[in-house]
Amino acid sequence: MKPAAFDYLAPSTLAEAVALLARYEREGTDVKIIAGGQSLMPMLAMRVARPELLIDLRRIPGLDALHEEAGQIVIGAMVSKRCAEDSALIRDRQPLFHAATQLVAHLQIRNRGSVGGSFAHADPASEYPAVALVLDMEMKAVGSAGERVIPAADFFVTYMTTSLAPTEILTEVRMPVMPAGTGWAIKEISRRRGDLALAGVAVTLRLGGGVCRETRMAAFGVNPTAVRLTAGEDALNGQPPDPAVFARAAAAAANALHEPMSCIHASSEYRRHLVKTLAERCLAQAVERAGRSAA
């Protein structure tokens, strides 16, 4: 299928883009922002979305910035996933985000698809929302009322829905540099390499005094949006890092999931089973990395 006809504007400043969004929203025009087009173009082609106007962010300077600032890594919304994957700063200073980026789709899609586009798209099977919850990331949005910073816990609302207003542009995402001694892991199961995950788990933790501490776990591909696995975190914190504890914590995380999604590729019970298995493997790998990093 071909997309329905639409108009197209490519503003050259952020202020212009914000003003255009506000104006067309006021006039009742169905407007969509386009970034890398890797999710939006298939939706247009399938006519799942039929916007009257696309506003392209590609010509706006500054949205492709990537730097470290006051202990945080700041990634402009238009930084491609390929650039994030190639960034030594991200690889060395925030390896969980780096590993998550490598799991996203295929090289061709990572070449065009933006980091900001994935956050704004909020696919429940995307790796990024789960990593954002684990790392307490922040999203910066700019609209006609000014700018605001949204914590990850408030950003992802439900299935493909964020707390961005239709007239707001996501301009950057921020994450803390990973502190030394932190163990981390991210694992997923998909039908083919590069497909969106049927289920996945991301973890960070620390070791201290012979027990696990500060565990953060989240699952993706399971519920309409990524979810923190707090039952698993509680079952692990204060416990010694041994396989029986990992199994108990993973089971607690999986059992506490609220009605995992079901589709032709994976039943609800299979997704729950995947979360248990992946969480157990993630915990073992994160503990091993925490030990190595502390040594």
Q: Which of 212, 223, 215, 216 is nearest to 274 (CA)?
A: 223
Q: What are phi and psi of 162, to 5 degrees?
A: -115, 175
Q: Of 17, 38, 185, 245, which one interacts with ligand FAD (CB under 6 A)?
A: 38
CB under 6 A: which stretch of 114-122, 146-154, 222-230, 265-273 binds ligand FAD?
114-122
Please enumerate in sequence order all residues whose Cβ is within 8 A of that of 28, keeping only pairs 6 or more positions apart, or say none.
none
- Residue 271 to residue 90: CA distance in whole angstroms: 30
Strand-pair partners of 32: 54
Q: Does residue number 164 form part of the binding site for ligand FAD (CB under 6 A)? A: yes
The full length of the chain comes to: 295
Nearer to ligand FAD, 132 or 169 (CB): 169
Sign of torsion over alpha carbons 141, 147, 151, 155: negative
Q: Does residue number 189 form part of the binding site for ligand FAD (CB under 6 A)? A: no
The count of residues interacting with ligand FAD (CB under 6 A) is 31
Using CB under 6 A as the binding rule, the residues of this chain from 79 to 108 that contact ligand FAD are 104-105
CB of 181 to ligand FAD, least distance (A): 28
Q: Does residue number 169 form part of the binding site for ligand FAD (CB under 6 A)? A: yes
- Residue 172 to residue 138: CA distance in whole angstroms: 9
Strand-pair partners of 66: 75
Q: Does residue number 124 form part of the binding site for ligand FAD (CB under 6 A)? A: no
Q: Of 17, 18, 35, 275, which one interacts with ligand FAD (CB under 6 A)?
A: 35
- Residue 63 to residue 75: CA distance in whole angstroms: 8
Q: Of 17, 18, 21, 40, which one interacts with ligand FAD (CB under 6 A)?
A: 40
CB under 6 A: which stretch of 15-23, 64-72, 115-123, 132-140 binds ligand FAD?
115-123
Q: Does residue number 252 form part of the binding site for ligand FAD (CB under 6 A)? A: no
CB under 6 A: which stretch of 30-38, 68-76, 228-236, 277-285 binds ligand FAD?
30-38
Q: Say which DSSP state 271 is in.
A: H
Q: Of 128, 155, 156, 184, which one interacts with ligand FAD (CB under 6 A)?
A: 128
Q: Of 118, 167, 204, 215, which one interacts with ligand FAD (CB under 6 A)?
A: 118
Which pair of tokens denotes residue 173?
Answer: 């995402």
Nearer to ligand FAD, 90 or 164 (CB): 164
Strand-pair partners of 80: 114
H or E segment to which residue 169 belongs? strand 169-176
Q: Of 11, 116, 221, 232, which one interacts with ligand FAD (CB under 6 A)?
A: 116
- Name residue 150's amino acid: I
Alpha-helical (H) ranges within the chain are 14-26, 40-45, 81-86, 88-93, 95-103, 107-112, 115-121, 127-135, 152-155, 230-236, 243-255, 268-294
Nearer to ligand FAD, 64 or 233 (CB): 64
CB under 6 A: which stretch of 110-118, 205-213, 249-257, 273-281 binds ligand FAD?
110-118
Binding site for ligand FAD (CB under 6 A): 32-40, 42, 57, 77, 104-105, 109, 113-114, 116-118, 120-121, 123, 126-128, 164, 169-170, 194, 196
